[in-house]
Amino acid sequence: MNNAPAREITVIINKLVSFFDLINDYAESHEKSFTDLLSQSDKHDYKFILTKNLMLSEIHVIDCIGKRQLPNATFIAKELSMTKGAISKITSKLLEKELIKANHLEDNRKEIYYTLTAPGKKIYEIHKQLHDLENERIIAILTQYGKDELQVIGNFLDDLLTKL
């Protein structure tokens, strides 16, 4: 066990609390950034998509469907760490909003697989742009550190994810 000084630990805890507050506000910030990116796209698309009143969870289901060819509800639920019931409700709303289509394979009429409609693909692309921009900002921060420092950061994040 490392005997790190109590003051340094207190400073790190305070920074983590601030970081967790930032993460809690992330959904609102993410939604605003999505709307900002959307407003830069074709005006017709912008107005059409705004009329859909999308929730962040719906956007993430669209994103999941866009990344995978013919995903089913079980796959989406697992991928997004949500229940199949929640995914069923979200996909029903997305079907009503005509952003996704439900498909059956010829040899399996029971299982439903999802694909994006043209407007759903537009939302997927805009959301992908947003994630690409966010990733670029994180990469810009991480490239300031050396290999050993990145290893410590990675280990620290692993510990946070597995031990909290």
CA distances from 115 to 16, 62, 118, 142, 143 (A): 39, 9, 10, 35, 37
Q: What is the mean pLDDT of the segment spanning 110-135? A: 90
- CB-based contact 128:63 (threshold 8 Å): yes
| 116 contact partners, CB below 8 Å, separation of at least 6 | 62, 65, 66, 99, 100, 101, 124
Provide the token pair at 162. 């597995």
Question: Does residue 19 lie within any of the structural domains?
Answer: yes
pLDDT tens sequence across 62-102: 999 999 988 999 999 999 999 999 999 999 999 999 999 99
Task: Say whether pLDDT at 27 is over 80.
Answer: no
Task: Give residue 160's pLDDT.
Answer: 86
Question: Does residue 119 lie within any of the structural domains?
Answer: yes
CA distances from 47 to 57, 87, 89, 123 (A): 20, 26, 24, 12
CATH number assigned to the domain comprising residue 69: 1.10.10.10
Question: Does residue 1 lie within any of the structural domains?
Answer: no
Question: Does residue 89 lie within any of the structural domains?
Answer: yes
pTM of the model: 0.72
Q: What is the mean pLDDT of the segment spanning 36-57? A: 70
Question: Does residue 110 lie within any of the structural domains?
Answer: yes
Q: Are strands 100-105 and 108-116 parallel, antiparallel or unpaired?
A: antiparallel
More confident residue, 3 or 91: 91
Task: Give residue 29's pLDDT.
Answer: 74
Question: Does residue 159 lie within any of the structural domains?
Answer: yes
Task: Give residue 45's pLDDT.
Answer: 63
Q: How many domains does the chain have?
A: 1
Confidence bin at 147 (pLDDT 50/70/90)? very high
Question: Does residue 31 lie within any of the structural domains?
Answer: yes
Question: Does residue 135 lie within any of the structural domains?
Answer: yes
Confidence bin at 55 (pLDDT 50/70/90)? confident
Q: Domain of 93? A: 6-163
